[in-house]
Every structure is written in C-alpha cells, then in structure tokens.
Structure 1
Amino acid sequence: MSSLVQIRRGPAPHASSERGPQPELEPEPTADIVVATDAPRVYLETFGCQMNEADSALIAGRLREGGYVRVRDPAQADVVLVNTCAIREKAEDRVVGRTSQLLRHRADNPGLVIGITGCMAEHLKTRVAQRAPHITLVAGPDSYRSIAALCDRARAGERVIDVRLDKAEVYEGLAEEPDDDGISGFVTIQRGCDKFCTFCVVPYTRGRERGVPPREVLRAVRARAQAGYREVVLLGQTVNSYRHEDVGFAELLAAVHEVEGIERIRFTSPYPVDFSPALVDAMARLPKVCPQVHLPAQSGCTAVLERMRRGYTRDQFVALVARLRQAVPGIALSTDLMVGFCGETEDEHAQTLALMDEVRFDSAFMFAYSDRGITYASKKMSDDVPEAVKKQRLQQVIERQEQHTRASHEARVGTRQRVLVSGTSRRGDRLVGRTESFHKVLLPLHAAAPGDLLDVTITGSTGHSLWAEPAPSQRH
C-alpha cells in the first residue's frame, strides 16, 4: 500500500510566514481507501514543530516494520495516534479536543485505540486518564523504538503509558517513513535540551541533550539524496549546540555539505548563545548552506531575558545579528517573540518593539506566555500579567511584524532569486517554491516541475508571498 499519513498543516498562530505544521481540528475530506489486508491499520496525525514531523516519520517506520498498515481515514483505523506538542497550552487543549472528535469512530469500531505520542504525552503522563479517559495509549518521545508493541498491548485492552526518558536514545539506524514532498526532508541530529529556560517544558518532555552520531546523520542525509531529495533541514531543539564526542555543529555542517545530490542545507532552531565563530564562518563559506536563520530572541529586554534564563543580553543578541549580516550579506532572519512573561512591564514590552524595529526580522512567530505547570517559571514565578494586557501586547507585536514582513517582501521585487520548486498551490493554479532565504514564491503552473531549481525574477508581492516569472533557459 502507498505511504499515507494525515499531517495537519497550516500557518502557525500569529506567524508572518509558514514554518512547520500546526494543528487543525478537522482533517480535510479524503477519498475512501479500501485496505485489503488483515493487518492492523493505523492513522497518524501530527501537531507541532518540525521535530514532531520527523518523529512521525520514525513512528510510521517502526509501525510498518511491526506489521501495521497506514491509512488516511481514521474511520478505517484500528489505532489512531496523535503526535503532540506541549510547548503552549493552546496546543495541548487542541490535541485533547481533537482526540475527543476522533472518539466518534468508536461507534463503528468499539475496539479503536486512541493514543497520543510526543511531548504532550510526556507532559501529561498519568493525568491523561483524568483529562481524557478515552485515550488508552500514551507514548513519550523516547518510546518510539517499541511503538508497535505498545500499540499491540493497547489493542489487547491494556491502558498503556510509556513515558520514560532515555539519556542515550537517538534512534540510530532505524528506518523512517516520511510523509513530505520528497524534495525537502528533515534529519534529526539532536534530541533533548540542556538549556532549562524558565518558561520551557522541552527539557522535561524530551529529556537531556544528546547528539546523534555523525555517521547516522550522514547515513540519513545520503538516504535522502539517493531518494531524490534536493534539500535537507537539520533539526534539534538547540541545533547549533550539537556535539558528539569531538564533532561540533560547524564540522557536521561541513560534512553534510559534501553529500552529493543535496543542493540546499538548512537548520533549525539554533540558540543564540551557541552561534560560534566557526559556525558563522561555515555559513559564509559553504554555498549549500542557505542564507537564512531562525534566531529566537523571545524578548528585547535584558531584564526579561535574565528572568527567562536565556543566557544572553539584548546587546549580545544585536551583536550576533550584526555578525551574521556581515558574514552572510542578505541573510534572512526569522525569530520567536513572547509577550507577557512573568513580571513584564510596559517599558520592557516597549523594548521588544524597539528590538523589532532595530533588527527588522523577515518573519516571526509570536505568542503570549502561558503557564506550563512543570517549568521553573510555573513553580517559582508569578504569571502576573493580565490576559487582556497579554492580548493587547501580542497584537502590537503582530502589527509591527506585519509591517516588517511586507517591507521585506517588497524589497525583493525586481530581484533575481533561485527557487526550489516544491509543488503546486492549494488552488492548483500555481507552482510553489522557496528562495534560498526561505521566502515563499508563486510561479506560473507550467514554468517548471517539483524538484527543479529555477532562476526567477520577482515581479510582485502579496505581503506574505512573492510572485515570480522564470528567467529564460534556467531549468535544472
């Protein structure tokens, strides 16, 4: 049977560009698929970040090896798995709501297993029985090696909870089954996080930081190249803090650069403190490494950054931006910005707006702080900014970033760019691709084919996407 996974895709809340999957409560209608097999059938749905998409590919590969057949329609499944994110409270609420919607399929299949995997599974642990008793399988990020066996146990009637964290698990050598465009693929190089920012659940839900051995990273990248992929995205919670024995991130990046067939390399998300001179130099001298970085600022105020335990000041962040722009002219920068963190004053919020005006990010993901229950901030600090104030500040940040994003796009009108074509638009009337700086480009439908690298002239902007026409004789 063909590889089918239902991935929930869509723009991130309050984001000024598309980056990574985000939850939708209802899947789009799909055609009926008849599965002519007695094998157990599994439906997999993914919420959250690129790390979760990569984990879903790993889960799907393990289930396939365990004898499961993947289906697109949850009504046909014996097991429904929702791979989850716990970074923000709203994401968690949506996942619980989504599993409640999926519960209706038990009317036709009383034995249907509904399970959650990923960060939310680790976060909720045994509380899931109280909050969502219809969920009978809970598997954390370090339990995927045995996911097929866990599903078997749940199908046999057992309530299964496996959320142990494993300091050594990096899933080396395991087959994956990605559900992507076959052009740009994710490769996980690091798991867990050691930063312990006061607002963040990742160290508690994904465990301590450990790097995937370079041999495994290169095996995965070569496999993508052999399968026809043109681009790889190296993933880690703080990807540039990668280290395995004596290999750091800059050295790993140079090794990946040598893989034939891969034309573009991206990485996300780096941590500002770990942007070493060696990494900046690697970005400047390695032509396959795209001139684009997602650089989370979180706040433009040093006092707030100290309360967040981010490890850098506003001035240090601005200096890093200057180094990157000097080393990689024209580099595109996106960021994460959080408003309403514990104790944030109007003046501190104003400093974030001022940072936005100074740096002028190409795009941003913008959120209001939410108490996650298990973090240092939740236990030791007061969530004292009223919700109405958070909402007002968030709207101000969104409006400011909208101005900067539109200006970034408009500045590219008339320029020549190289685009990697990834597919067609949702309406089916345009090709869609990305520039090296990760700007979305819309092209005439018959200008190229998915997977082509095309030199184009930017002819216009919608504010969030660019229009372009191909340059003559530029198909590759």
Structure 2
Amino acid sequence: MAIFKTVRPRVLSVYQRVRESHNMLQGPGYRLFSSVQREITNCSSFAARKRSGSYRIFSAHSWYIDKSEGFGRCSHLHTSSYISNSSNTPKASRKLKEGPGLEHFIANSGLPQRALSVRELEKVSHPYVQVEDISGNGRKVYFDVYGCQMNVSDTEVAWSVLKDHGYVRATQLEQADVVLVMTCAIREGAEDKVWNKLEYLRALKKKRLGRKNAPPMKVGVLGCMAERLKKKLVEQEKSVDVVAGPDSYRDLPRLLALVDKGEAAVNVLLSLEETYADIVPVSLTTSRMSAFISVMRGCDNMCSYCIVPFTRGRERSRDIQSILDEVRHLSDQGVKEITLLGQNVNSYRDVSETNHQGLSVTKNDETQLVKGFKTLYKPKKGGLRFADLLDKVSQINPEIRIRFTSPHPKDFPDEVLYLIKERNNICKQIHLPAQSGNTRILEVMRRGYTREAYIELVAHIRSLIPNVALSSDFICGFCSETESEFQDTLTLLETIKYNFCYLFPYSLREKTLAHRKLVDDVPQSVKVERLNRMVDVFRSEATKVNRDQIGQQQLVLVEGISKRSKLHLVGRNDGNTRVIFPNVEVENDSGATEQIQPGDYISVMITDSSSQVLKGIPLRLTTLQAGTSDSNEQYLIFKRSESY
C-alpha cells in the first residue's frame, strides 16, 4: 500500500466532520475534546489508499472525550474510516450519515459507560474487519527473536495473543505461513543482524511464490526496530508485510488480517498504559525450568546515548496482583527460577487503584535515590515500590529462585538490599550498570552519578551482602572520550572485580540526545581497540574472582546436558555463573541414590575455574532452602579459614 504524504492536510478536516456526528455518541453529557484534533493531526503512523474519491485511513489513536463528570479515556482503540475529499458539504454530510458514525471510532460507545478492562476492549469488533477475518485458522507462525530478555518475554506475549486467535506454532522456519522477527535497536550491530535476516526472508518468500499451491509467506517485524524504522521497513523493505511496535502486540491478529486483504499493516504507537498485565505469556520452549515476567515497561532516565525511551516509551508498571498471580501460575507449572524484567526494573511503582489485599499503600512515599545519585525526572510518589514487589514475590514459593534485571544503580534503597540479604530464594546477584568509569563521561551520558558515588554504592552493597555477585555494562568510545578517560574505565574494572560484564563499543542512535547535540568523534578503529582492552582486563579480573571460589560448596540449579560433553551437566549457581559437573548418580536427602535431572537443586564442590565457568563435583541432591543455608554456612567457614 502506498503512503500518501498529501493525506495529512486532508486529515485536518476530520475534526470538523467528526464534530458533525458527535450526537451519535451514546449517553448524554459527551462532547469532543480538542485533543482529538491534536491526536489526529499529530498521528505518527497511518496508511492511506486513494480509492474512488476517498481516502481510507488506518491508524491507532487514543481518543479523548470530555465527560460532564470528568475526563474519560478510551485507549488502544483502532480507527478505520472513510473520509471524503469532496468540497460539497451536503454530499459529504449525506455520506457521513449513510456511512460509519462516531461510534465506529470509539469502540465502547455502545457499552455501559464505565472503564473497560483490556480483555473487554479486545472483544470489541474491529471496524471493517470481520471477526472471522482476524482468526488464524490454523496458520503456522514462526518467531525469530533477537536482543534482550525483554524481547523473549514480549515474544511470549505475542504468541499468547496469536494462539488465542487460532494460530499454531511452527518449529521450522520453512514450515511457517507467518514469520515474525522480534528485533532489537539498542546497537547498530543488533540491527545489522535483523537486516541480514530480512534479506534471507525476502529470498525465501520468492522461492515460496514459485511453488504450486503454496500459500504466500507473510513477514512481520516486531519490537524496537519496528518503532524506530517504520517508514524504511514499509516503503523500502518490500518483503515486510507487518510492522508492530512494542505496545501493539494485541493488534497482531487485525494487522495480519489487513495483510490478507492486500493492505500494508503498521501500528507502532507507544502507550502510556500498556503493560500486557492481563495476558498470560506462552513459553516458546517445551521444558520450562525458568521464566521471565515483565513487571514494568519503558524508561524515564533519558541517558544521552540510549534509544530505549524512544522505542519503548515512558515508564509504567503492572499492578502487583497480576504479577503475583503469574508467579503462582508458574509455580504450579513447576518453574524453578523467575526473573523479573523491566527496562528500569527497580523503579517499579504500582500506582493502580486495584485491591492490594492488605498491602500498605502510601500516597506520598517519594522515591529515595541512593546517596550521590540524581535523576532528570521528578521523583515518583505513592503506590507500591520494588521492595514491596520483591517481598511478596519471594514469599509465594520459597523453592523458586528470584532474579531481576535490568536495574539502575540509583534505585537501590537499603530495604531492597536487606531483602536480598535475608531471603534465601532471592539470588545474591546484582546487575549494576556503570557504562563508564570516568565522571565527566558519566555526566555527558546523563547517568546521574560520579565515579566516586558508584564505588561507594558497591562498597555499601558488599558490606551488607558479602558474597554478592556483581555484573555491569560498559560502553567504550563514547562521544569525546579521551584515552585518559578510558583508562578510568579500565581501573574501575580492576577495582570492582565483576563476575560478569557486558562490554560494547559506542553505537550512535538516531533520536537520542547524543545524536542531536554531540559528535561521534572517536574513530571506529579506536573503539574496537578499546573494546579489546576492556575484555582483556575484565577476563583477567573475572579469572581471579572465580579462582577464589575453588573449594567452596555451592548450590546449583541444574539446566541440562553440557554442550561440550554428554557426560557432564551444566547449571547455574546463586551468582548466575555456569557450573559444569559430571553426570552421575548422587544421594538425595533420604540417603537413596538418584540420577540428576534438569530442575534439581544440587550441592557442588568447586574444584576448578576459568573466567567464564566453574567446574566441580556433585555432592548430593537438596532443596533451595536447605542448600542455601549449607552454602552460606560453608562460605563463612571458608572465608574465616582464608584469614589465617
């Protein structure tokens, strides 16, 4: 479908035309609010086709109405209407009366005037798309996932939506009727991988067209690249049929239905409210020992290098009850490890008006930042905070490990640290993204802290949780970074001695403050050279950290057979380090011998190490609570022996 640049001026007339039909709204006391005009004028995503003297507009707007008793909002409602381009007003009015009224724009106008749940909104019929048209009717869908754990979680949400609409899962790409690529836009390298895959899919689509009786393959791009590169994907990448941003996965059945009708399907509008709280994700794997739960979405930090706020939108948190219900559901399925996810997970704050079942909710409890840290946005107030969430989640099943990522260093009040220390099933592992070790670069990055404040926070964490495992993110070659400033990053790596690090050369991203106001002046060759030096320093220090664990007894959650040897198993310890050990029978707590299975907790004596993994000997099967207590006691004995 072509995108007509001339449509936007015509859309300005929609406001007046729609006002003529405002009396078609059901229920007294409604009138169109002026933001409708702004919403139409500023719409960021639409496709139009000129047909027989009219334009058909496809868009996803949030429509505002001014109720006599206050403002009401119908969000995530999809519009699809005919707009006459005729200057003949009577004729236009006549067509307007004969055609769709304003109730077609506001999908719940014919329902009782109350706030609708998201599930209710999903059941409202889509204008111009019949109910049977949005059914998958057994078509096979294949997911190709790139990027972070949040993308894995989002893919499970998208799969849940499509499964509910009659789609089935394809295990092989060649079997698929629909291929959905979940994309990442955080760095140029991540996008390059997606572009290469789209080239491959273009060739695969052509090959499919050459087969007799073979249905055409549809390709969709989901996630952060969809929002960032929507125009390029639709206009230039002709192999892409569907483009859906991070907040439009509910709309996938309708978008795929539009493709079947020969229309281009795009929905990349960001939402201030969408959390998918009511959708139960469907795992992409058959064996589910671990699971991700998205507890909040978006980011308000606006670091100068980061595109996440532009592709994921503003921060919004799920209500705590929906999260607890999902944890219970996963517990019933036998899941042994849950990771709470969010772009800024520890800034979680549930300010919903749902029944919190006895939890103490404060209205004026302002966010308390770590000493020496600051933020660009106004501190949030009220509701339930991350400490409340972590507390309640960890109580549901003491035999389920709890992790969380990705946090911001500013949001670690002592109440969170004490919970990590005291609860056996909250892993003693904290991701603490530093990004740079130089104070000036941190200021240019708009991180909100100095090198000294970061080091002080690490010291405070280790004073409360002595055996904590720390990981971090670092960027080298950021705008204007000098060699001496880069040296500060290397010395920070040496000072902190992380268990894990995620190290990257800087990649300029459009829309960011760095793209608008800074100069990407560090040559690529210098970035690569600095990256190699960062990797060398990190591995050297990580080797020492892991060597210090030799002789310790650690609790390991078994994942399965090692990729390197069928005679060995692999699992992860409390600090999330991989541990490899022989696949042999061991004693359980009752004294009988058993074969070790994925999902078992096992005590392992560490005998060898490298910068990446630990190796050991399995001792016995145990439980999380018993094994953690034994490991903590043995750790204290081990540390005391080191002091002599």
TM-score, scaled to structure 1: 0.90
Conservation of the 8 A alpha-carbon contact between 2:398 and 2:425: no
Counterparts of 2:317 and 2:224 in 1: how far apart (Å)?
A: 19
Which residue is equivalent to 1:23?
none
Counterparts of 1:156 and 1:341 in 2: how far apart (Å)?
A: 47
Counterparts of 1:358 and 1:467 in 2: how far apart (Å)?
A: 26
Which residue is equivalent to 2:276?
171
Shift in alpha-carbon separation, 1:285–1:475, aligned structure 2, 3 A: closer
Conservation of the 8 A alpha-carbon contact between 1:96 and 1:132: no
Which residue is equivalent to 1:52?
151
Counterpart of 1:455, as a letter, is S
Counterparts of 2:416 and 2:623 in 1: how far apart (Å)?
A: 32
Counterpart of 2:329, as a letter, is A
Conservation of the 8 A alpha-carbon contact between 2:161 and 2:250: yes
Which residue is equivalent to 1:372?
509
Counterparts of 2:600 and 2:580 in 1: how far apart (Å)?
A: 14
Which residue is equivalent to 1:454?
602
Shift of 1:472: 3.9
Conservation of the 8 A alpha-carbon contact between 1:193 and 1:209: yes
Shift in alpha-carbon separation, 1:193–1:122, aligned structure 2, 3 A: same
Shift in alpha-carbon separation, 1:153–1:385, aligned structure 2, 3 A: same
SS at match of 2:396: coil
Counterparts of 1:474 and 1:176 in 2: how far apart (Å)?
A: 30
Alignment of 1:302-341 (within 5 A): 302-341=439-478
SS at match of 2:474: strand
Q: Deviations over 1:283-323 (max 9, x none)?
A: 12222110101110000001000000011111111111111
Shift in alpha-carbon separation, 1:79–1:354, aligned structure 2, 3 A: same
Cα RMSD for the two superposed structures: 1.5
Shift of 1:38: 6.0
Q: Deviations over 1:63-115 (max 9, x none)?
A: 10011111011111111000011000110111011111122221343321111
Q: Which moved more, 1:179-188 or 1:65-74?
A: 179-188
Question: Is the counterpart of residue 386 in structure 1 residue 523 in structure 2?
Answer: yes
Shift in alpha-carbon separation, 1:278–1:261, aligned structure 2, 3 A: closer
Shift of 1:463: 3.2
SS at match of 1:169: coil
Counterparts of 1:92 and 1:266 in 2: how far apart (Å)?
A: 28
2:303 corresponds to which of 192, 197, 200 = 197
Conservation of the 8 A alpha-carbon contact between 1:200 and 1:375: yes
2:180 corresponds to which of 53, 56, 81 = 81
Alignment of 1:288-307 (within 5 A): 288-307=425-444
1:437 corresponds to which of 575, 585, 588 = 575
Conservation of the 8 A alpha-carbon contact between 1:42 and 1:81: yes
Alignment of 1:145-184 (within 5 A): 145-180=250-285, 181-184=287-290
Counterparts of 2:302 and 2:461 in 1: how far apart (Å)?
A: 25
1:124 corresponds to which of 220, 229, 238 = 229
Which residue is equivalent to 2:317?
211
Counterpart of 1:210, as a letter, is R
Stretches of structure 1 lacking an aligned partner (at least 5 in a row): 1-36
Which residue is equivalent to 1:467?
615
Which residue is equivalent to 1:40?
139
Q: Deviations over 1:325-380 (max 9, x none)?
A: 11111101010000011110111101111111110111100001111111110011
Shift of 1:157: 2.5
Counterpart of 1:56, as a letter, is T
Q: Deviations over 1:151-188 (max 9, x none)?
A: 22223322111100010001121121112441111011
Conservation of the 8 A alpha-carbon contact between 1:199 and 1:308: yes
Question: Is the counterpart of residue 274 in structure 1 residue 422 in structure 2?
Answer: no
Which residue is equivalent to 2:532?
395
Give the number of the structure with larger relative contact order, counting CA–CA contacts within 8 Å between residues 6 or more apart: 1
Q: Which moved more, 1:253-262 or 1:224-233?
A: 253-262
Q: Percent identity?
A: 40
Which residue is equivalent to 1:426?
563
Counterparts of 1:241 and 1:280 in 2: how far apart (Å)?
A: 14
Stretches of structure 2 lacking an aligned partner (at least 5 in a row): 1-135, 210-215, 352-382, 586-595, 625-644
Counterpart of 1:467, as a letter, is K
Which residue is equivalent to 2:95?
none
SS at match of 1:109: helix
SS at match of 1:132: coil
Which residue is equivalent to 1:258?
395
Counterparts of 1:179 and 1:418 in 2: how far apart (Å)?
A: 27
Counterpart of 2:583, as a letter, is L
Largest Rg, 1 or 2? 2
Shift of 1:231: 1.0
Conservation of the 8 A alpha-carbon contact between 1:225 and 1:261: no
Alignment of 1:218-229 (within 5 A): 218-229=324-335
Shift in alpha-carbon separation, 1:43–1:203, aligned structure 2, 3 A: same
Counterpart of 1:471, as a letter, is L
